[in-house]
Structure 1
């Protein structure tokens, strides 16, 4: 069972209010400290308890200047926490929404950190595109997989799915800008290489990324859902397999190389594969987040965000159907 250490900081006169919230829940351990007029409440709890507790604390204390909540993962604790008795029914209903995933706020912070459009991100895009180009031109699968594992474009798309699910415009804009910059930079570099070096479209690694089939839709949807599940479970290692299964950089670089060499029709086919993967990753991401009960913090936002999420989900589905129709005509 994954554990979290949560520290709540509020003014000392809120002790009874804090206790009332905790009395409705069963945490593994709790201890309090007083410092400079502040009450620090430390809680050892299961990962799925974090989200409902943070929501409760936010609703009760968000208007206070001293209010803070700090949440960190716990690698180990001694003595080992014992299995708890059955929790109260109300708490079980709250935890059911966050079952098998980390809290909304942890997901948000992780997604936000993956949308930082800075020098490191741009360098990662350039390096990934360069490695992919070398691997494609040499028809070397090992090198191409190296570019897939770097995968700088995967997290901005997961962040876009999360922003759509939460109705967070700020995160959505950051994710879109990060996506656009990464896709544009990788494509321009590949196009420059294709212009400087005549690319042979018969190279198997390149030719294979100009052939789009309906099975690519299934693969991208499954890989996108698996990647989102791994992300929500906090299993970063499992995302690596998804990077390889539905990588965006190799087909993007293929499109750039072929366009730079004047192979317009083949470049368009490779671009179609890139667009297919983008649509499927986002569609699978939004669908998976919704199925896991992820939503806004406050109840009065739920209806508005739910409608916006379903509208965005419908748009992704429409794009998917359009892609399926286009791919069907190419077969």
Structure 2
């Protein structure tokens, strides 16, 4: 099973993993806020507040980054994403919970362990099974939506029905992932504040099981859908060949490419460039040359469509040049 027919699909996955593994100020702020809310909800035995903490927990990105990075064998991305996960959960989340609990105990000494805390520190076998199942299901959904609905990412958000909006889907999946992560991470800090090593170890073990379940399940789903490094390298090689060929032939101000793989043997190529001169004959030959170079270097039969915008001070024209793999069907349209 493979995902074919979507522009730069495998390269976009790689970019998503790079973005998901990177740290940002907003990530630290959201982890801090979600951990504080989770701690207050756990100590108050309030399910509503705990759910609120899940709604802002930003752990979808790093979880996906681990899964995609492992599939692509980008071990630097995997390492960065794991550090981001564990740093957010333990260094920030558990520390915030510990400090908040210490402060609250001083203000209100009657604060004690609640049923919500016990469920994550002294779990029954049933609790462990359910927690593991939720983590596995969350990892499945986080990766499944990438391969089952890739077309969503190709449309502007305002053109999509609300239930199909990728931002809404990601937010929903993020809450599901947070169910497995932010409460146990907060309980780790709470247990330390109460001076309960057994509770601490149980909560930490539950958290690690959930992290592993999330990341490995996500990786398995991507692999089952045929996401590997091979189509990624093919997309990259085609994109590199396009840019090298165009830069060697014309003086372009900007080049944007989209490679749509239909198989390992066939692709459609869309190129948009800004050039200082726009002549249909020149760019027809350029499209033919680009198609030939891609075929020669990758063995992929292809059609090339080039849209050229002139940036000359005296004119501004758009050309759409289509060069199929069979040259006699070449045509030109004025955009």
TM-score (norm 1): 0.56
Contact kept? 2:17, 2:65, Cα under 8 Å: yes
Q: How does 1:264-283 map to 2 (within 5 A)?
A: 264-283=197-216
Match of residue 225 from structure 1: 140
Question: Which residue number corresponds to residue 207 of structure 1?
Answer: 118
List structure 1 segments (4+ residues) > 6 angstroms apart after TM superposition.
Answer: none
The Cα offsets for residues 157-207 of structure 1, whole Å up to 9 and x where unpaired, read as: 210111000111232232123223212111111122233334855412211
What's the counterpart of residue 146 of structure 1? 52
Q: Which of the pair has more CA radius of gyration?
A: 2
1:238 corresponds, among 156, 169, 178, to 169
Structure 1 segment 6-155 matched on structure 2, within 5 A: 48-51=4-7, 54=8, 103-155=9-61
2:225 counterpart of 1:298: no
8 Å Cα contact 1:194-1:258 kept in structure 2: no
d(CA) in 1 for partners of 2:216, 2:192: 28
SS of the aligned residue for 2:21 comes to coil
Runs of at least 5 residues in structure 2 that lack an aligned partner in the other structure: 154-165, 237-335
Task: Tell me the residue number matched to 1:287.
Answer: 220
* Mapped partners of 2:11, 2:111: distance in 1: 48
Q: Provide the C-alpha distance between the structure 2 equivalents of 1:207 and 1:249, rounded to a whole number of angstroms.
A: 15
Residue 192 of structure 2: SS of its match in structure 1? helix
* Superimposed CA distance per residue, residues 288-316 of structure 1 (whole angstroms, 9 cap, x where no aligned partner): 010111111237x9xxxxxxxxxxxxxxx
Point out where structure 1 has 5 or more consecutive residues left out of the alignment.
1-46, 55-102, 302-331
Cα distance, 1:48 vs. partner? Answer: 4.2
What is the aligned residue count?
204
Separation of aligned partners in 1, 2:18 and 2:55: 20
| Superposed displacement of residue 284, structure 1 | 0.5
Contact 2:59 2:177 in 1 (8 A): no
Q: 254-263 or 281-290: which moved more?
A: 254-263
Q: 1:129 & 1:224 partners in 2: Cα distance?
A: 21
